[in-house]
């Protein structure tokens, strides 16, 4: 049967089980939007194209599906770049459809023309410019396959207006495409090598990253750690891959990691790193990272192995399959750790935890941001999906909210994109409307995409914003305090909107707490609402995130306060 390009697009989306699209219309995609009007696919109209990509990103992280967004050409397309780069750094599967001028006008500086495939080539896993309608169906199929196969990532498909208006014979059962989903299985010899290394290790440690969550391997990693009593630490992107309330969990490692996690990494003799990139915020000075350890690195992406940290046993493979094989091998070969040796190692970690616990100082009626997060965790029972903005709010969330389940912590890790949290929360809520979804935000970051409150209001997407309002660009101010003698150059944000009034102007509920004893009541009221809510907590203005490893130093050299350093 003959179908128009717009009809083929919608048919292919249905084949991919796409139920939600985040987007913003414009001239070059009007034909697509007219077809979408007749479709049963849900479309969420955002207020900025960056918000569309972040929402699709949040949807993908929470659901495990490929996130989808649709925008127009020119500025609509260029507005997606930050969101695409965010997803690319964190390996999130997205397909971004952009409108384009007719093929005959490409290169002529036509109205709202831009080379979006050229612009996004460095920050996509792959991208396509569809020049012929006969290539449309196979290109869409290939785009979804690329986005979710191997190490996931964003794919952009540029759709010229004339291609979408053209017609061609279409048979959905006869769409041919290149399949990139090649199975990666660790060699049996590699699994045997892990067994041998565990046999001789006295102080083993597991380091978990975002690849465990993307690979749906949390169950296997948890089973490995618990069965053999191996302590676990995680990167920011690995939070939730192992239960945060389990005694074996040491918290996050790295620049703002716990003292006991960083000390465990520095004293372990075997580090099993699963789905990590060894980012500089995690390792500190490379030369001093895990100096006593043999390192095993399991990752789907061979380019990540030996990129930053030289390892002793590289294993390229899907995290889930590799850990399953390891569990079977250890069981079949009757691996049993020496209980006395393991007890000594766990007691050493317990001593570090007791010596320097993760804590903060209360100050009378002043609201401490850590207290807000602790109270939020207690009142939700940890049963909430948390997004964050970027900055101090993100680090305090990582430290003080215990994530017991996978894919419950959703944040911009690699790129550190301010403005991510609110639109991402909208995407998460669309994926799980039955769940409590909370964006923990800072007053600087929230203003980057605060217009998406209108999106939440329009569709009654009942996300909750917990705003830690300190009147500063908090993390930048902290660095200015520590390294620039408190010269707060352009980080003071006291000239800001009344967030409660602004929330109400957007049509959402606005609440405020200015005293510690108001925190619980505001959270109770906000969480109970069936509408979008912004809760403005006026927190301690110059609170810092500690522990902190200063740039260029070993992760054992942690500053615990403005003057206190410990090794």
**What residues are paired with 140 via a beta bridge?**
none
Q: Report the phi/psi class of residue 292: left, alpha or beta, with left for phi > 0 and alpha for psi in -120 to 50.
A: alpha
d(CA 253, CA 250): 8
Report the sign of the C-alpha dihedral through residues 261, 267, 272, 275, in that order: positive
**What residues are paired with 539 via a beta bridge?**
367
Tokens representing 433 are 């409307």
* Residue 496, SS3 per DSSP: coil
Let me know if 287 is a catalytic residue: no
**Candidates 141, 161, 320, 464; catalytic one:** 161
Element holding 386 (H helix, E strand) = strand 385-388
Let me know if 483 is a catalytic residue: no
Q: Where are the alpha helices (DSSP H) in 30-113?
A: 30-37, 49-63, 75-78, 81-89
d(CA 499, CA 505): 10
Let me know if 252 is a catalytic residue: no
Report the sign of the C-alpha dihedral through residues 245, 247, 248, 249, in that order: positive
d(CA 507, CA 180): 45
Q: Parallel, antiparallel, or unpaired: how do β-strands 167-169 and 2-4 relate?
A: antiparallel
DSSP assignment letter at 174 = G
**Candidates 49, 220, 374, 452; catalytic one:** 49
**Candidates 111, 363, 524, 564; catalytic one:** 111
Tokens representing 501 are 């009034």
Contact 124, 88 (CB under 8 A): yes
A 10 A CB-CB count for 291 gives 12
Tokens representing 28 are 């070059």
**Candidates 12, 197, 237, 475; catalytic one:** 475
Q: Parallel, antiparallel, or unpaired: how do β-strands 464-469 and 533-538 relate?
A: parallel
Let me know if 161 is a catalytic residue: yes
Cβ neighbors of 69 (< 8 A, separation 6 or more) are 21, 22, 23, 49, 52, 53, 55, 56, 80, 83, 94, 96, 97
* Residue 251, SS3 per DSSP: strand
Closest of 468, 399, 480, 474 to residue 438, by C-alpha:
468
**Candidates 11, 14, 112, 294; catalytic one:** 112
* Residue 305, SS3 per DSSP: coil
Report the sign of the C-alpha dihedral through residues 188, 191, 197, 202, in that order: negative
Let me know if 112 is a catalytic residue: yes
Tokens representing 80 are 């997606």
d(CA 57, CA 63): 10
Element holding 325 (H helix, E strand) = helix 319-332
Instruction: Give the residue numbers marked as catalytic.
Output: 49, 111-112, 161, 475
């Amino acid at each position: 049967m003959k179908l128009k390009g717009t009809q083929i697009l919608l048919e292919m989306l249905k084949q991919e089980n796409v139920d939600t699209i985040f987007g913003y219309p414009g001239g070059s995609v009007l034909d697509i939007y007219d077809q979408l009007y007749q479709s049963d696919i849900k479309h969420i109209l955002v207020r900025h194209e960056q918000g569309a990509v972040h929402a699709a990103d949040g949807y993908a992280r929470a659901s495990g599906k490929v996130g989808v967004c649709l925008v127009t050409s020119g500025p609509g397309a260029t507005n997606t770049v930050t969101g695409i780069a965010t997803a690319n750094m964190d390996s999130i599967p997205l397909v971004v459809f952009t409108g384009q001028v007719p093929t005959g006008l490409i290169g002529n500086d036509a109205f709202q023309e831009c080379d979006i495939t050229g612009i996004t080539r460095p920050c996509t896993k792959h991208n396509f410019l569809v020049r012929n309608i006969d290539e449309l169906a196979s290109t869409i199929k290939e785009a979804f396959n690329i986005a979710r196969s191997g190490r996931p990532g964003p794919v952009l498909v540029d759709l010229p207006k004339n291609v979408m208006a053209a017609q061609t014979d279409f048979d959905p059962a006869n769409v041919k495409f290149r399949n990139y989903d090649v199975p990666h299985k660790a060699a049996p010899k590699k699994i045997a090598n892990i067994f041998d290394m565990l046999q001789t290790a006295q102080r083993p440690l597991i380091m978990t990253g975002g690849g465990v969550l993307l690979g749906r391997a949390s169950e296997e990693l948890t089973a490995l750690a618990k069965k053999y009593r191996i302590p676990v630490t995680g990167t920011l992107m690995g939070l939730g891959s192992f239960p945060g309330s389990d005694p074996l969990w040491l918290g996050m490692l790295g620049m703002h990691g716990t003292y006991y996690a960083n000390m465990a990494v520095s004293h372990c003799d075997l580090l099993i790193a699963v789905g990590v990139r060894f980012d500089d915020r995690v390792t500190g000075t490379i030369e001093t990272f895990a100096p006593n350890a043999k390192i095993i690195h399991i990752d789907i992406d061979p380019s990540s192995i030996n990129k930053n940290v030289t390892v002793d046993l590289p294993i390229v493979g899907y995290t889930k399959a590799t850990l399953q094989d390891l569990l079977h091998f250890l069981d079949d070969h009757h691996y049993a750790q020496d209980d006395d040796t393991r007890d000594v190692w766990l007691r050493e970690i317990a001593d570090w935890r007791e010596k320097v616990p993760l804590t903060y100082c209360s100050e009378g009626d002043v609201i401490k941001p850590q207290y807000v997060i602790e109270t939020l965790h207690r009142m939700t029972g940890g049963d909430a999906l948390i997004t964050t903005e970027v900055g101090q709010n993100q680090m305090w969330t990582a430290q003080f909210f215990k994530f017991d389940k996978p894919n419950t912590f959703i944040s911009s890790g690699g790129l550190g994109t301010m403005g991510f949290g609110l639109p991402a929360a909208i995407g998460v809520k669309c994926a799980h409307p039955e769940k409590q979804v909370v964006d923990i935000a800072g007053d600087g970051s929230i203003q980057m995409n605060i217009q998406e409150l209108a999106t939440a209001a329009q569709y009654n997407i009942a996300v909750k914003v917990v705003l830690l309002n300190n009147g500063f660009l908090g993390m930048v101010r902290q660095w200015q305090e520590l390294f620039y003698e408190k010269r707060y150059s352009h980080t003071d944000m006291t000239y800001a909107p009344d967030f409660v009034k602004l929330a109400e102007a957007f049509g959402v509920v606005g609440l405020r707490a200015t005293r510690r004893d108001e925190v619980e009541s505001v959270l109770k009221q906000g969480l109970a609402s069936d509408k979008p809510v912004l809760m403005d907590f006026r927190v301690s203005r110059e609170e810092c995130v500690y522990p902190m490893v200063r740039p260029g130093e070993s992760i054992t050299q942690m500053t615990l306060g403005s003057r206190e350093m410990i090794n």
